[in-house]
Amino acid sequence: MSRLSSKEQREVQEAGCPVPVDVRVADRAASVDGVPLLPGPGEEPQHAVLNHLHRLARTTGRPVLATVHDTRIGYVVSLQVNLDGSSTFTGDPVRMAAPAEPKEPAPAFPLRAVPEPPASSVPAVPEPPAPPVSPVPAPLAPGTVQAPTGVFGPPPVMSIPAPASVPAQAPVTPDEPVVDRDPDPRPTPARGFDAVAEEVLGDEPVTVTAEGAALLTEPMARINEAVRAGRIEAAAELAEGTVAEASAVLGDRHTEVLHLRELTAYIAYLAGDPLRAFHLSLDLARQRRQARDGEGAYGNVRSAATAWRAVRDPEHGLRLGRDLIDLWTQLTTEDGPAAGDMDELESARARMNRLTERARRAAENG
């Protein structure tokens, strides 16, 4: 599925149309637009996917229309997730063309209605699990609000509650397959764009150093508010102007300026400009590596990798990927978290192999 251009994204927002994404669900893994989404310890894939789609809806300010390929039951369903966390099947489930083998439906999870009180309300205790559902879908009544069971189709469902507070994650459309890996039981800190999103969408007030407080507190709050409201272009303009002003006063390598540039890269990614997001993030990673900040450098590398996966052209992707993996490999030999997270680097190298094959096929066909 191709990525929406900035113009197309504006048209979607102006028209109030859902943002389309592609979801793949396997036994213990899932991916959204090709990016692996690993469930946490004890978390079912459908819970991880629904939370991710809700974050995406909140980030874009529009509902998300997901085409879910669930190999566990062999069906494809269309699911719309709204800003309040509720979800609706938008069409009848369709049996997948060639399922690997017949499987029994996965167990259902508790169903609950979306509460009317404010989002700050504490969700009710879930009911006992419902019995397994039949793989044969029943027609949906027009206008019926529904939510997925333990699998993403084909059963009828009810609306589900929104999480009390969840961070945003940027929409991407890379071409990677689902990676079926066991979740890491160790808690993993948010890095890259995930960390920026948590800060932007978090309930905590904006915090800056004492040196930059008078200059940056108000602009940072306005930028974050624009992102939360889905006004991405306005957020981008505010961020660019604030970076220029802060650089002139504090210097290009000041902590607050680097932090602002991270936010600018994230906003560029949300605006559908992965190339700018990539170059900003990789440049930040180089600066932080020179400053011997291994944690910060690795976070910026992860941001660059997220943006890189949204670059569709294989030749361009190969050129960017070489620079990314070269710096990433260097970080694994130095102090910092990169050396303990080799799976992510191997995933990037695997994508390079796929891009190489795609480029070869394109040259042969051209």
CATH code of the domain covering residue 246? 1.25.40.10
Residues 150 and 281 grouped into a single domain: no
Per-residue pLDDT at 5 exceeds 60: no
Which phi and psi (to 5°) does residue 40 adopt?
A: -75, 175
Please give the share of the chain, as a percent, with pLDDT higher than 90: 28
Are residues 180 and 197 part of one domain? no
Query: Could you give the count of Cα atoms lying within 13 Å of 365 in the half-sphere of its Cβ?
Result: 6
Within a domain: 131: yes
Structural domain including 294 reads: 193-201+211-365
Nearest to 191 by CA among 288, 63, 276, 256: 288
Residue 262 has pLDDT above 70, yes or no: yes
Residue 208 has pLDDT above 80, yes or no: no
Straight-line distance from the first to the last Cα atom of the chain, in angstroms, rounded to the nearest whole number = 22
Per-residue confidence at 209, pLDDT binned at 50, 70, 90?
A: low
Is there a contact between 162 and 54 (Cβ–Cβ < 8 Å)? yes
- Domain check: are 165 and 197 in the same one? no
pLDDT at residue 289, rounded to an integer: 94
Q: Do 197 and 174 fall into the same domain?
A: no
Instruction: Note the pLDDT tens digit of each residue in 317-362.
Output: 999 999 999 999 999 999 889 988 888 899 999 999 999 999 999 8
**Averaged pLDDT, 213-242:** 88
Q: Are the beta carbons of 266 and 303 closer than 8 angstroms?
A: yes
pLDDT tens by residue, 80-101 = 888 887 888 887 888 887 544 4
Mean pLDDT of the chain: 74
Domain assignment of residue 337, yes or no: yes
Do 163 and 222 belong to one domain?
no
How far is the C-alpha of 222 from the C-alpha of 185, rounded, in Å?
A: 37
- Identify the H or E element spanning 69: strand 64-70
**Domain ends where: 135, 153, 186?**
186
Predicted confidence at residue 148, as pLDDT, reads 41
Q: Which of 46, 24, 50 is nearest to 35 (CA)?
A: 24
Lowest pLDDT segment from 17-26, 50-59, 63-72, 175-184: 175-184
Give the residues across from 22 on adjacent strands: 67
| Better-predicted residue by pLDDT, 112 or 235 | 235
Residue 26 main-chain phi, psi, to 5 deg: -115, -165
In a domain, 206, yes or no: no
Greater confidence, 55 or 2? 55
**Rounded to 5 degrees, what are φ and ψ at 228?**
-60, -30
Percent over 70 (pLDDT), the chain: 65
Q: What is the mean pLDDT of residues 285-307?
A: 94
Establish if 257 belongs to a structural domain: yes
Q: How far apart are CA 284 and CA 298, in angstroms?
A: 10
- Claim to verify: residue 85 and residue 135 sit in the same structural domain: yes
84/132 same-domain check: yes
Query: What is the C-alpha separation between 338 and 191, in angstroms, rounded?
Result: 11
For residues 226 and 252, state if they share a domain: yes
Residues 6+ apart with CB under 8 A from 268: 236, 274, 276, 277, 280
What is the band of 275 on the pLDDT scale with cuts at 50, 70, 90? very high
Q: Please state whether the predicted TM-score (pTM) of the whole model is above 0.75.
A: no
Does 166 have pLDDT greater than 70?
Answer: no
CB 63 within 8 A of CB 72: no
* Same domain membership, residue 197 and residue 157: no
In a domain, 355, yes or no: yes
Residue that finishes a domain, picked among 132, 151, 186: 186
Give the C-alpha separation, 1 to 81, whole Å: 18
Query: Token digits for 135?
Result: 């793989």
Written as one letter, the residue type at 287 is: Q
Number of domains in the chain: 2
Does 225 fall in a domain? yes
17 with 135, same domain: the answer is yes
Nearest to 162 by CA among 90, 87, 89: 87
Q: Tell me, what's the pLDDT at 284?
A: 95
Task: Judge whether residue 6 has pLDDT over 90.
Answer: no
162 and 218 both lie in a single domain: no
Residue 131 has pLDDT above 60, yes or no: no
Do 237 and 128 fall within a single domain?
no
Structural contact between residues 25 and 46, judged by C-beta atoms closer than 8 angstroms: yes
Cα separation, 337 vs 213, whole angstroms: 30
The pLDDT value recorded for residue 294 is 92
Prior bond of 131 cis (ω within 30°): no
Closest CA to 70 of 186, 148, 163: 148
Instruction: Let me know if residue 167 belongs to a domain.
Output: yes
Contact 190, 169 (CB under 8 A): no
Q: Does residue 222 belong to any structural domain of this protein?
A: yes
User: What is the rounded average pLDDT of the residues 28-35?
Assistant: 79
